[in-house]
Structure 1
Amino acid sequence: MDYPARGRSTAAGPLAVLAATASGALTAHLADGSTLTCPAADIAGLLAWATTAGLGALAVKAGGLNTGPLLVLTDTATTLLTLPPALPSPAHRHPRSDHPVHAQLRAIGWQTNVQGLAPWTTLHPVHGDPTADAIHLAITAWGALHDDTWQLPTHLSPPQIAQLLSAYTRLLRTPTGPPGECGHRLMSDLRPPAHRHAHTNALLCHGAPGALAQSVNPAPCEAPDGHRLALGRTAEDRMTVEDIDWWRPPTDAEATAPYVVCLAVNLSHVAGSNNIRVAAGPARTVQHPDFDRRTPGSWFVDLSGTPQHPHLPTPYVTARPAWHTTEAVAYAQQRGTPIRPIRAHLRTGTAGPYLNPWYQRIRDARLAVLARLGITPAMEPEVLCQELESPGGDPISRLLLAAVDATAAHSIHVLAQQPADPDHTPGHPFGTPPLPTWRPDLRASLIANSRTELHRKLCMTARTGYLPLAVHQDHILFATHTPSILEITSPSGSGFRLGLSPGHVSPAGTHTMAWYRHHCAQHVNPAQLLRTPTQ
């Protein structure tokens, strides 16, 4: 079966949500609200239809690759196409297994990509390119959309799913996996590397300046647990990067306040990501280097000379001699800490703000969805607070906002996620995947940058007379005399600004001081209770 990937029509839009009708036919619900009849009765017929239906999306960025069609198979479509009603066992998912679905695909000259059968499955011709010639399946009966981090309600109709996913495509990209994977792919969508066809070697796209084009190993201190470079590593040689998780009992004066308010930092890991410098090359080890805040890398340095306020969390996971990112060391230097690195792993190649277009895309998408909900930055603070606490509007737009936020938050962790390699034996060390955007060092930089920026804002707010009671990741609690976060955000000089963009804050709940003291007595971080969706 030929697949006209290059130059194919995308007139029907990026995706189709397929559902069976009462008469036993398939209806494809498209992005623009229209429908098409799909004559397929099996996977072969589905692929034959998809290659000629005019489905697909143009490249997110000029110089990049187009995205193949997304076909969402609802439960009824899965049944009609005689696909298994449940996700096959791990052994049968493997792309070289003898499962009947794989056999059907091979019989028509198609195959899955290296991940095999999955809730989100990518197919391409045997002699095609896994990236350029792909058709993407989201199989809801196997867990796509409803049981993964999309968390879409099961009562959504096929037209509603098509409406939601097409809006997501316009704002970010065609969804071809869970939100975190989409956000990770968006990074390279917006700075695409040059790409040659896997079989013909034809140049399919020229790429863009500043793209990450080669896979590089992490430095030993940056390697996630389980990586080959982490074997035999001591605790001292492991970089520990975590968000702040801290709380304290209230002072006697704070205990007289009637309220405890919670501020949530919007997309805290995204905020400031546009300024993080990323270099494409591998790390080189340097002994006793001079610190340079413009050089991406990891530095083994003693930060114990940093002054510490007794009622504020530390900006670093540890201040003793340990591995720290450039962002953490730069913040310590700003605070007057003498910086004398013992050694460093420094990235080679030209460094630049690789994530700048990604940050802008995420920010603009979030603002656009909030505008659909009637929430804009121009609102008076009191009205904005009220709208953010109890958002109304279209339920699809609220689901879309959750998807945009999940895309931003989860994509950070995909940067260091163990690759889904079907040939990897669980429990055995894994190697660096052949993916230029697999960058544990970048994940560490984003978290460290978020942590130090939060600490900076806490210090600024402390000068207005308000000290935090508890912090968990992006949630901060303060003792207040009013049940509104405006008491914290309104004073001149406060580090926190009420707003909608990444780094601004939104209200995340108000409780009594008695509630706070009760959880302190239970030795529980009260901010964590508000951060956990189930609480």
Structure 2
Amino acid sequence: MREEQANESELYARVDGLLASLCAQQIPLPPPRERTRLRTAAGLSTEQVADVLSCPAQDIAAWEAGTREPRMPHRAAYARLLDGLKALEQPLQTKVPAPREPTAPATRTEQPTLFPADEAPPSPRRPAPSQPLVIPTGPLTVIDHTDTLVAHFTDGSQLPLAADDLPGVLQWALDSGLRRDKLSPYDQDGDPLIVLTPAASTALHLPAELGDRATLRLPADHPVLAHLRQAGFHLTRRGFGPWPRVYRPVVNKKRASLQLAIQAWGALCQDGWNLPPLAPTDLARLLGLYTERLLTPRGSTAVCGQELMTALRPPTKPGRDPASNRWVPTPHRGALHQAMEPAPPEAPDAHPLARGRRPEDAMEEEAWDWSRAPDKHESALAHVVGLDINLAFLSAASSLSVGLNAPPRHVTAPAFDKTIPGAWYCDLSHAALDPRLPSPFTATGQAPTKPAWYTTVTLAYAQELNLDVRPTEAYLRDDHGPYLTPWYERLRDAYLATMAGLGVHEKIPQAQYLAAMEKLPTADPAQLALLAAIKATAKGGLGKLREGPRHVTTPYTRWPALDKPTWRPDIRAAVVAKARVNLHRKLRKMGEHSGRYPLAVLSDCVLYPAHTPSALDVVPAGPDQLGTQGLIRLAVNPGCAKQEGVQSMVWYQHQLTQGLNPARYIKNDASNT
């Protein structure tokens, strides 16, 4: 009996020990980003913390990155340390630089602002012994200079810097904890962005402009670059230009790199960026919104679009090597992880594969440039209304299956399969289509007259139109998937959030949408610049898929972009083809529904004849005045339309007599004859 009681007591003790262990494992810890902030604010290195906790420094880095959580007994000690560091922050104080001279009220009201009308911007901070410590926060900082260098953060706070040279600023930034959280499970945390205003550049001994206007790079022997090298910093092969990247070698598997944007040299005012003059605090907020909705700026908006693709679908992920039993980078399924040669018909004209190629052997999947003369009935209508499809090519990227990492497989006499992305040689000249619509098979909108190369998307639409599709040759991509879907979703959400901030919302009646869009040009210039940057990121990212040669004068010579996994002209061709057939489908159904047919199309802009000078005259009202599904609808969503411009029918016919496509000029032509 006693033995049974002893066994029972021992079992209870072991159960209690297990429960205690489980409870200990649930000791709460701050989020990973806060752990880094608390350590760096206290001036501690990962090595110092690791020494105190008797664990490797790599463990501290992993806990701060959120890739691994501490276990007992380290968890309890780590939680105690973080609680102590947080308590130490309370009595700390800091000095804030003297405020600038206040500007006149009229000057202030002319500045674009990111603050709502009923919210005043924070007043300049004045030196006060009781002000709390400013902790660097966010993914970036804008550094300006008055009497000293001052860092402006995305939350509106400011911090004077003790550094007086560029290496000092970079070291402060590395220690500050500034970063962007990873965008996908296998992405890396975004490096901090340091924006230098012209005043800050001058204070850091950088020239006001770059002398080398061809390459836009600072000479390698410049004293500032020599100083960086002495401090242990390295540059990428692109050198030190408007968007330089600076780094130190990896130590303990921890990266130490930063992105700079130098405003004096054109960063943020060209290459897709067109930001208005902004105070440093407002600039930090605007770039913070761009980062929050997309990613930290890395260069031109096109570069950002390409980097966003990679961040959302990184090329590699951690995988265990069976031979060494170590974690090593392995290919990430669904991503692009190696450079791929195009199929011969997909190669651009400058590509080495295009040497000796006949023009008819090149695939031409491009956007429309088409117009026609109005018939007698259409000529009697007084007006022409332009409808622009919102983010048409971005919308086409949604759920589109594209080739991934297998080289194109050449096949003769293939049976067409709409599930396999590829390039198909097929004769569609027998297609009899409505002449009031542009042909969906050519960029000119004219019917094809001989066999040509088409994407899978185009031939699938030919089948939808009940045409006989019999390709004689093909290059097929057996490894495929919806690579661009997360990229589309993030850009769509960023666009819709920004439009909502400008007062243009989803699911509102079409007339209300048109009224909101009429007010859009008078909105806050900073928010409009943010919107333009988001749209340019989408457009430029798709353009990068077929980036052409730069500074290469010899024909058929390889250029650096060809060695990138994201250089994929076949993917761009599929997106363009899908945008074109999507629009053709809507134009066809519009004609069947209303008897109204387009007069001209340029890319994503369509011109219709109209009785009144309004898009409401052209687009069916539909249920609840929200438009009709499957037709062109007036709404803010990608793939829906906005009114691009209105002109008279006389104006339209005059444009035709000049040999012009009126869709190109309907928005900007001030004449209304």
TM-score by length of 1: 0.90
Question: 8 Å contact 1:113–1:130 — kept in the other structure?
Answer: no
Shift of 1:482: 1.6
- Within-5 A mapping of 1:425-444: 429-431=557-559, 433-444=562-573
Shift of the 204–480 alpha-carbon distance from structure 1 to 2, 3 Å rule, reads farther
Q: Which position in structure 1 is the counterpart of 2:203?
A: 80
Shift of the 121–204 alpha-carbon distance from structure 1 to 2, 3 Å rule, reads farther
- Residue from 504, 507, 515 that aligns with 1:378: 507
Question: 8 Å contact 1:213–1:436 — kept in the other structure?
Answer: yes
Question: 8 Å contact 1:389–1:508 — kept in the other structure?
Answer: no
- Residue from 301, 313, 321 that aligns with 1:191: 313
More displaced 10-residue stretch of structure 1: 44-53 or 122-131: 122-131
Q: What is the root-mean-square deviation in Å for CA atoms of aligned residues?
A: 3.0
- Within-5 A mapping of 1:221-240: 221-240=345-364
Shift of 1:205: 7.3
Question: 8 Å contact 1:377–1:500 — kept in the other structure?
Answer: yes
Shift of the 282–428 alpha-carbon distance from structure 1 to 2, 3 Å rule, reads closer
* Structure 2: distance between partners of 1:469 and 1:204: 58
- Residue from 151, 156, 174 that aligns with 2:274: 151
* Structure 2: distance between partners of 1:383 and 1:323: 44
Question: 8 Å contact 1:296–1:347 — kept in the other structure?
Answer: yes
Question: 8 Å contact 2:275–2:526 — kept in the other structure?
Answer: no
Q: Which position in structure 1 is the counterpart of 2:156?
A: 33
Q: Aligned pair 1:473/2:596, yes or no?
A: no
Shift of 1:272: 2.8
Q: Which position in structure 2 is the counterpart of 1:338?
A: 468
Q: Which position in structure 1 is the counterpart of 2:409?
A: 284
Question: 8 Å contact 1:123–1:130 — kept in the other structure?
Answer: no
Q: Aligned pair 1:180/2:302, yes or no?
A: yes
Shift of 1:82: 0.9
- Within-5 A mapping of 1:79-478: 79-89=202-212, 97-126=220-249, 133-153=256-276, 155-194=277-316, 209-280=333-404, 281-317=406-442, 319=448, 320-349=450-479, 351-391=480-520, 392-418=522-548, 429-431=557-559, 433-463=562-592, 464-478=594-608
Shift of 1:291: 0.9
1:408-441, CA deviations, whole angstroms, 9 ceiling, x for partnerless residues? 1221101111366x8x676561156332221111
Shift of the 132–469 alpha-carbon distance from structure 1 to 2, 3 Å rule, reads farther
* Structure 1: distance between partners of 2:414 and 2:315: 32
More displaced 10-residue stretch of structure 1: 131-140 or 34-43: 131-140
Shift of 1:91: 7.7
* Structure 2: distance between partners of 1:379 and 1:345: 45
* 1:221 counterpart SS class: helix
Shift of the 92–192 alpha-carbon distance from structure 1 to 2, 3 Å rule, reads closer
Shift of the 26–129 alpha-carbon distance from structure 1 to 2, 3 Å rule, reads farther
Shift of the 370–333 alpha-carbon distance from structure 1 to 2, 3 Å rule, reads same
Alignment-mate amino acid for residue 20 of structure 1:
H
* Structure 1: distance between partners of 2:372 and 2:215: 51
TM-score by length of 2: 0.73
Question: 8 Å contact 1:124–1:130 — kept in the other structure?
Answer: no
Alignment-mate amino acid for residue 238 of structure 1:
A
* Structure 1: distance between partners of 2:613 and 2:435: 26
Shift of the 376–251 alpha-carbon distance from structure 1 to 2, 3 Å rule, reads same
Shift of 1:31: 0.9
* 1:135 counterpart SS class: strand
Shift of the 342–348 alpha-carbon distance from structure 1 to 2, 3 Å rule, reads same
In structure 2, stretches of 5+ residues that fail to align are 1-44, 47-57, 66-134, 319-325, 623-627
* 1:147 counterpart SS class: coil
Shift of the 241–101 alpha-carbon distance from structure 1 to 2, 3 Å rule, reads farther
Question: 8 Å contact 1:214–1:435 — kept in the other structure?
Answer: yes
More displaced 10-residue stretch of structure 1: 284-293 or 108-117: 108-117
Shift of 1:489: 1.9
Question: 8 Å contact 2:353–2:556 — kept in the other structure?
Answer: no
Q: Aligned pair 1:20/2:126, yes or no?
A: no
1:103-131, CA deviations, whole angstroms, 9 ceiling, x for partnerless residues? 33322222222222332111222557999
Question: 8 Å contact 1:363–1:502 — kept in the other structure?
Answer: yes
* Structure 1: distance between partners of 2:200 and 2:462: 57
Q: Which position in structure 2 is the counterpart of 1:508?
A: 644
* Structure 2: distance between partners of 1:121 and 1:499: 40
Question: 8 Å contact 1:241–1:444 — kept in the other structure?
Answer: yes
Alignment-mate amino acid for residue 468 of structure 1:
P
* Structure 2: distance between partners of 1:232 and 1:242: 22
* Structure 1: distance between partners of 2:385 and 2:399: 30
* Structure 1: distance between partners of 2:668 and 2:251: 44
Question: 8 Å contact 2:317–2:332 — kept in the other structure?
Answer: no
Structure (1 or 2) with the greater helix fraction: 2
Alignment-mate amino acid for residue 184 of structure 1:
Q
Alignment-mate amino acid for residue 118 of structure 1:
G
Shift of the 425–245 alpha-carbon distance from structure 1 to 2, 3 Å rule, reads closer
Q: Aligned pair 1:64/2:187, yes or no?
A: yes
1:122-149, CA deviations, whole angstroms, 9 ceiling, x for partnerless residues? 1222557999543111111111111321
Alignment-mate amino acid for residue 653 of structure 2:
R
* 1:210 counterpart SS class: coil
Shift of 1:227: 2.0
1:432-475, CA deviations, whole angstroms, 9 ceiling, x for partnerless residues? 63322211110111111111111111111111111111111111
1:270-329, CA deviations, whole angstroms, 9 ceiling, x for partnerless residues? 113122112322112111111111101111111112222222111122732111111111
- Residue from 495, 506, 510 that aligns with 2:631: 495
* Structure 1: distance between partners of 2:491 and 2:369: 26
Question: 8 Å contact 2:339–2:565 — kept in the other structure?
Answer: yes
Question: 8 Å contact 2:645–2:666 — kept in the other structure?
Answer: yes
Q: Which position in structure 1 is the counterpart of 2:99?
A: none
**Identity across the alignment (%):** 39
* Structure 1: distance between partners of 2:553 and 2:547: 16
Shift of 1:68: 0.4
* Structure 1: distance between partners of 2:306 and 2:252: 20
* Structure 1: distance between partners of 2:429 and 2:314: 41
More displaced 10-residue stretch of structure 1: 452-461 or 494-503: 494-503
Shift of the 96–233 alpha-carbon distance from structure 1 to 2, 3 Å rule, reads farther
* Structure 1: distance between partners of 2:640 and 2:493: 14
1:324-348, CA deviations, whole angstroms, 9 ceiling, x for partnerless residues? 1111111112112211112111113
Shift of the 43–359 alpha-carbon distance from structure 1 to 2, 3 Å rule, reads same
More displaced 10-residue stretch of structure 1: 203-212 or 475-484: 203-212
Shift of the 208–36 alpha-carbon distance from structure 1 to 2, 3 Å rule, reads farther
- Residue from 521, 528, 531 that aligns with 2:657: 521
In structure 1, stretches of 5+ residues that fail to align are 197-201
